[in-house]
């Protein structure tokens, strides 16, 4: 009951306060249990529903603007949302393979890195940056981020690693692979210890910073390893020169040292490969047939690496000091903005051409805002008029939309994908933990799998495999530590329970199994990537999916610690 005061104000009772706080405390999942006529009002007023938005308020779109009033329409709209998720996945994949990966190769080449160091640093960061961005989103403020991070790492290693091993055989550097897998094991063990250790169940600021220190040590060890290898190469070259000056050259010892030097030189180089043949086979649709001509489960012989690109020749293409500075300016501008690849159009069939037409609006949008820097292209992708236009447009778009960095499109795609995945899970009454380790993990691994597959078929298998292991190290250590630093809720009492999640133990045990079995098959195959290894990794992922589905349906126990209520 409310009483009116002399100042024409109301005195609120405890019941009034409860109703006032109702919309602040109610979960958005509860909205789905209400009649359709009330969902629009709840979507507008429930604070938890405002958390599950980014650029678009999908709940208002569903129950206010479209005015869904039956289950059939709701399911049809979810199918449309799933189609939009596929579009966002394609945007991330196209952005990474067309714009991001060439720049990473160029930066690595300029910094004199080898494939392994480039893979565990720049490429791993490029593949994992959606994770670190998503962990700072409001939708993950109280999400089971340990389950998400470890589940994503598991999907990347098993799905992307399996694809890389299946598509093209290559020799893996043994000590680099063992080192990176052991650091991955160290990272997940340190993270788990920080969360499940005895105490109030909170993560302190110093522990969060300590996780970043693990990654700093990891990168430092990789850099020192490369420096030591190059020093040993110089020393070995001097020894070979001295052996040549001897009256009698010890042939066996000379051959052994020359073989060691050759293997080191292969691991040391990072050439810019000419991928013309690969692009043409992709455009014509024959690349999969060529990859499996010996049989689906038969590992073909290792191919010779593609020819290297003449960087200087491509840069000075059509250059002549006597030509006007703005020669073919508008023609170059229009060709740079052409969203349909002419070579792919000529070589592709009807389905390929239809796909090129369908995707052309999105490709055009990306070409307008994202500069192309690629040593394989003429003039390295330079277009004077377009690049000048981008200097004006890009700061405006970035500041207006997201106040963020140059990876705007990846951020938008990753965040919208995260929001849509959670909405689909809510509508179909699936738990957040289950969606995170199934649909979410597969969605997160798909762009990595596409980008790493492209690199492998272009002859960068070692770089792709290094990123497959280095990416999870970055995601588990750095992205989790950043989330712990900026999310103050993790320092509340018993925060580890919701951060760890219901399926955290399942993900942890399967990741340890994956690390151990990857070490096993790598040593067994003498560090050669084979198709049987790829199929083996896929089988582990299917077993993991089966285990999670059975745990979701309560057929088996999910390995989490059961909650115990103390008697009052």
pLDDT of residue 195 exceeding 60, the answer is yes
pLDDT in tens, 460-484: 888 889 989 998 998 888 888 888 8
Q: Can you tell me whether residue 114 is helix, strand or coil?
A: coil
The predicted structure's pLDDT at residue 414: 65
Q: Can you tell me whether residue 369 is helix, strand or coil?
A: helix
Domain boundaries, the chain: 15-65, 108-231+407-553, 308-402
pLDDT of residue 376 exceeding 80, the answer is no
Give Cβ neighbours of residue 510 (< 8 Å, ≥ 6 apart): 154, 540, 544, 547
Mean pLDDT of the chain: 79
Which one is predicted more confidently, 92 or 118?
118
pLDDT of residue 5 exceeding 50, the answer is no
Q: Which of 164-178, 186-200, 212-226, 530-544 has the lowest mean pLDDT?
A: 186-200
pLDDT of residue 182 exceeding 90, the answer is yes
Say how far apart CA 165 and CA 533 lie, in whole Å.
7
- CB atoms closer than 10 angstroms to residue 269: 12
Q: Which of 1-10, 18-27, 246-255, 345-354 has the lowest mean pLDDT?
A: 1-10
Percent of the chain with pLDDT over 70: 80
The predicted structure's pLDDT at residue 406: 44
Determine contact, residues 424/433, Cβ cutoff 8 Å: no
Which one is predicted more confidently, 102 or 299?
102
Q: Can you tell me whether residue 171 is helix, strand or coil?
A: strand
Q: Which of 340-344, 382-386, 394-398, 485-489 has the lowest mean pLDDT?
A: 394-398
Average pLDDT over residues 271-277: 68
Q: What fold is seen in the domain 108-231+407-553? A: A middle domain of Talin 1 (1.20.1420)
- Cα separation values, 112 from 144, 177, 261, 268, Å: 39, 20, 18, 9
Give Cβ neighbours of residue 475 (< 8 Å, ≥ 6 apart): 128, 131, 132, 149, 152, 153
pLDDT of residue 55 exceeding 80, the answer is no
pLDDT of residue 6 exceeding 50, the answer is no
Average pLDDT over residues 72-95: 82
pTM: 0.78
For the residues of 290-322, what is the DSSP string, one character each? HHTTT-TTSPPPPPPPPPBP-HHHHHTTT--TT
pLDDT in tens, 147-164: 888 988 999 999 999 999
The predicted structure's pLDDT at residue 2: 45
């Amino acid at each position: 009951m409310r009483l009116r005061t002399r100042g024409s104000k109301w005195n609120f009772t405890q019941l009034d306060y409860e109703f006032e706080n109702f919309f602040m405390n109610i979960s958005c999942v509860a909205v789905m249990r209400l009649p359709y006529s009330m969902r629009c009002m709840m979507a507008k007023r429930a604070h938890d529903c405002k958390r599950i938005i980014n650029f678009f308020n999908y709940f208002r779109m569903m129950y206010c603007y479209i005015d869904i009033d039956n289950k059939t329409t709701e399911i049809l709209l979810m199918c449309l949302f799933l189609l939009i998720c596929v579009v966002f996945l394609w945007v991330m994949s196209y952005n990474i393979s067309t714009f991001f990966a060439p720049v990473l190769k160029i930066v690595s080449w300029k910094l004199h890195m080898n494939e392994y160091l480039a893979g565990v640093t720049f490429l791993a960061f490029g593949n994992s940056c959606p994770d670190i961005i998503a962990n700072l989103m409001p939708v993950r403020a109280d999400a089971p981020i340990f389950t998400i991070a470890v589940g994503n790492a598991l999907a990347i290693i098993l799905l992307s690693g399996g694809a890389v091993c299946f598509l093209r055989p290559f020799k893996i550097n043994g000590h680099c692979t063992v080192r990176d897998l052991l650091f991955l094991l160290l990272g997940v063990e340190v993270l788990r210890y920080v969360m499940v250790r005895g105490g109030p169940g909170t993560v302190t600021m110093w522990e969060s910073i300590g996780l970043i220190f693990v990654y700093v040590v990891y990168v430092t060890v990789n850099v020192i390893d490369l420096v030591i290898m190059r020093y040993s190469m110089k020393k070995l070259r001097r020894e070979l020169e001295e052996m040549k000056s001897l009256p009698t050259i010890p042939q066996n010892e000379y051959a052994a040292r020359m073989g060691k030097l050759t293997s080191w030189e292969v691991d040391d180089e990072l050439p810019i490969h000419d991928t013309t043949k690969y692009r043409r086979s992709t455009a014509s649709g024959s690349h999969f047939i060529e990859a499996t001509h010996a049989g689906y489960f038969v590992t073909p012989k290792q191919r010779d690496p593609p020819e290297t690109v003449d960087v200087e020749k491509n840069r000075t293409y059509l250059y002549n000091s006597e030509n006007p500075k703005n020669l073919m300016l508008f023609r170059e501008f229009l060709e740079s903005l052409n969203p349909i690849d002419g070579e792919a159009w000529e070589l592709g069939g009807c389905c390929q051409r239809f796909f090129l037409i369908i995707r052309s609006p999105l490709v055009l949008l990306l070409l307008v805002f994202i500069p192309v820097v690629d040593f394989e292209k003429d003039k390295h992708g330079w277009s004077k008029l377009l690049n000048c236009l981008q200097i004006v447009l890009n700061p405006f778009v970035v500041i207006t939309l997201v106040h963020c960095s140059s990876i705007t499109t990846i951020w938008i795609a990753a965040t919208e994908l995260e929001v849509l995945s959670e909405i689909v899970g809510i509508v179909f009454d699936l738990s957040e933990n289950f969606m995170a380790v199934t649909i979410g993990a597969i969605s997160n691994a798909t762009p990595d799998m596409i980008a790493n597959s492209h690199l492998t078929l272009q002859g960068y298998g070692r770089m792709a495999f290094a990123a497959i292991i280095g990416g999870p190290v970055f995601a588990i250590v750095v992205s989790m530590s950043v989330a712990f630093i900026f999310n103050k809720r993790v320092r509340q009492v018993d925060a580890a329970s919701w951060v760890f999640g219901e399926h955290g133990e399942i993900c942890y045990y399967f990741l340890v199994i994956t690390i151990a079995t990857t070490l096993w098959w790598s040593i067994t195959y003498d560090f050669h990537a084979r198709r049987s290894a790829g199929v083996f990794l896929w089988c582990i992922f299917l077993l993991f999916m089966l285990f999670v589905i059975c745990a979701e349906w309560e057929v088996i126990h999910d390995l989490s610690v059961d909650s115990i209520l103390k008697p009052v």
